[in-house]
Amino acid sequence: RSILGSLLSFTSSYLTMHKIILAGALALSCSFDAVSAFVAPGASMGKAMVAPRLRSSTSSVAGGLRMQSKADIVAPLFEANKKWIQAKKAKDPKFFDRLGSVHKPEVFWIGSADSRVAANEIIGAEPGEVFVCRNMANIVLPFDVNLMSALQYAVDYLEVQHIIVCGHYSCEGINIALNKENYASPLENWISHVRNVYRAHADVLDAIPDEEQRKRKLVELNVMESCMNVYQLAIVQNRLKMTKPTQPYSTPRIHACVYETGTGELKKINWFPEGMEDPFGMRYDES
């Protein structure tokens, strides 16, 4: 019995120690995964990538929010909201009654997350007139669940008539994509899609000697690629086929635009490739 008791005691101690070792290994594995998330592919663990420090091209906007300390962070937002409500009611007493009961925009706007490119502001639209989804560098990818969900809702449920993809010059996403360095994930993964656009059009871009003009051209090409990605989505194709027999033209219409931050001008660019079959008359909007 004493031998059996000793054996059981040893077994219990061994199992306890084994659990401790497994727990330690699991914790180490989780720590390694957390660190590796911030290390660029191919980089050694001893040299973790540092996230880029991007500086805004504008320090402040006259008449805008000015938050100087932690205590100031929230208060100005609510004060500005009160003034906005008062201004809206003074101009249109029924404004919020309509806004609270109807949501039927005809435009879905895919734009940049840049704070200088607010869709409603630059086209003079009121709240409720444009359904908006924004991300860095206005990239359209079929595995972007956020954008795909918004687009599906816009096309299938709101039945928008127009989809606008809007880029802008002086785009930070374009600028950092042109840098040679790797950035920390997930930023590196995201901007790699802009770099893919560059590679696809390298013959055109490399022929432009001026760097700023090259960036501007890449902005336009990136918008055009996003428009083509929108056009090829099953959600959009199905809607175009469905509306073709019932209307003068298939909807939604897809438009490529670029915003000039230095002048406020919004210009339209042609995105539909020459020579490509055009069963839904997309090229008509470019004439």
Q: Is 252 exposed, middle or buried (0-12, 13-18, 19+ CB in 10 A)?
A: buried
Omega cis (within 30) before 273:
no
Rounded Cα distance between 202 and 95, Å, is 50
Residue numbers in the known binding site are 114, 168, 171
Res 83: pLDDT? 95
pLDDT exceeds 60 at position 253: yes
Rounded Cα distance between 39 and 47, Å, is 8
pLDDT higher at 70 or 264: 264
pLDDT exceeds 60 at position 272: yes
Q: How is the chain split into domains, by residue range?
A: 92-287
Dihedral sign (CA 103, 64, 72, 85): negative
Nearest to 224, CA basis, from 192, 194, 256, 195? 256
Residues 6+ apart with CB under 8 A from 160: 105, 106, 107, 108, 131, 154, 251, 252
pLDDT exceeds 90 at position 12: no
Residue numbers in the known binding site for Zn(2+) are 114, 168, 171
Res 185: pLDDT? 87
> 91-102 pLDDT, tens per residue?
999 999 998 888
Helix (H) or strand (E) holding 206: none
pLDDT exceeds 70 at position 170: yes
C-alpha Rg value of the chain to the nearest Å: 26
Res 71: pLDDT? 62
> 209-244 pLDDT, tens per residue?
999 999 999 999 999 999 999 999 999 999 999 998
Count of other CB atoms within 10 angstroms of residue 99: 14
Lowest mean pLDDT segment, chosen from 36-40, 83-87, 154-158, 195-199: 36-40
Q: What CATH number is given for 92-287 in this structure?
A: 3.40.1050.10
Interstrand relation of 162-168 and 266-269 (parallel, antiparallel or unpaired): unpaired
Helix or strand or coil: residue 81? helix
pLDDT exceeds 70 at position 203: yes
Q: Tell me the mean pLDDT in the region 188-205.
A: 95
Helix (H) or strand (E) holding 49: none
Q: Is 225 exposed, middle or buried (0-12, 13-18, 19+ CB in 10 A)?
A: buried
Q: Is 280 exposed, middle or buried (0-12, 13-18, 19+ CB in 10 A)?
A: buried
Res 183: pLDDT? 86
Nearest to 271, CA basis, from 255, 287, 284, 252? 255
DSSP-derived letter for residue 195 is H
Where residue 64 falls among pLDDT bands split at 50, 70, 90? low
Place of tokens 């950035």: 183
Look up residue 89 and give its amino acid: K
Where residue 20 falls among pLDDT bands split at 50, 70, 90? very low
